[in-house]
Amino acid sequence: MPVEERRELLLESAFRVIARHGVDGATTRAICAEAGVTLSTFHYVFATRDELLAALVERGTEKELTAVGAALGEGTQNISHGRTGVVTILRTALSAYIDGVEADPDREQAMISLNQYARQTDGLSDLGAQMYLRYYAAIAEALDGVAAATGTGWNRPTTELAPLVLAATDGITLSYLNIGDRAVCDLVADAVVTTLSTHIVDAEDTDRPENTPEKA
């Protein structure tokens, strides 16, 4: 088996083990047993367990960002311009996000466990912050794209609006993992769309003084 295939096998197995038993339960032996490989195979691919955990954070982050981009890209197809178009795209994207959580809750649970573990572990403590900063940047870029696709703008920098979206998706994820109620997740999504809609302006209004944040 090529090294890259072994790497993929170990990463996917590690996600499943962490989802079931937490990071502390994801020993190299447990991961190898889940993958059906030997310990020597593990160490042929990863020098240490922490190296695998760092790769898991990177892989999970990339999958989340890809999902966000795909959801927003789908939402921008055949959408009307103006405020209505923005609201439709946001609702479509958040609905797609909830679909993803429903489809693979184990991965979401594993990402939460990894984030908490990284914050408390020497050598990995920066991974959680890096993950969130990448999410913020990707969401801000996506919001800029939504505005461009609909001929609108935002009355605040999208870097300030992105944390609102991430807070909502975090809340949606935790809610679904704990109670599994799609209706509650939809309520959270509707609330954040309502909040974001108050910041939508016509494109030509974005440079007006009243829509330009004051400098500190």
Domain 50-211 class, CATH top level: mainly alpha
Q: What is the pLDDT of residues 29-42, one digit of tens each?
A: 999 999 999 999 99
Cα separation, 88 vs 8, in Å, equals 36
Closest C-alpha among 28, 27, 37, 48 to residue 5: 37
> What's the predicted TM-score (pTM) here?
0.81
Contact 57, 118 (CB under 8 A): yes
Average pLDDT taken over every residue of the chain:
87
Is pLDDT above 90 for 210?
A: no
The residues, ordered by sequence, that sit 6+ positions from 143 with a Cβ below 8 Å of its Cβ are 154, 158, 161, 162, 165
The residues, ordered by sequence, that sit 6+ positions from 167 with a Cβ below 8 Å of its Cβ are 192
Q: What is the pLDDT of residues 170-206, one digit of tens each?
A: 999 999 999 999 999 999 999 999 999 999 998 765 5
Is pLDDT above 70 for 25?
A: yes
Q: What is the pLDDT of residues 37-59, one digit of tens each?
A: 999 999 999 999 989 988 988 88
Give 11's Cβ-side CA count (13 Å radius).
Answer: 19
Tell me yes or no: is domain 1-47 CATH 1.10.10. yes
Give 29's Cβ-side CA count (13 Å radius).
Answer: 2
Instruction: Give pLDDT, residue 64.
Output: 76
> DSSP class of residue 212?
S
Instruction: Give pLDDT, residue 117.
Output: 84
- Enumerate the domain spans of the chain: 1-47, 50-211
pLDDT band at residue 126 using 50, 70 and 90 as cut-offs: confident
Give 52's Cβ-side CA count (13 Å radius).
Answer: 27
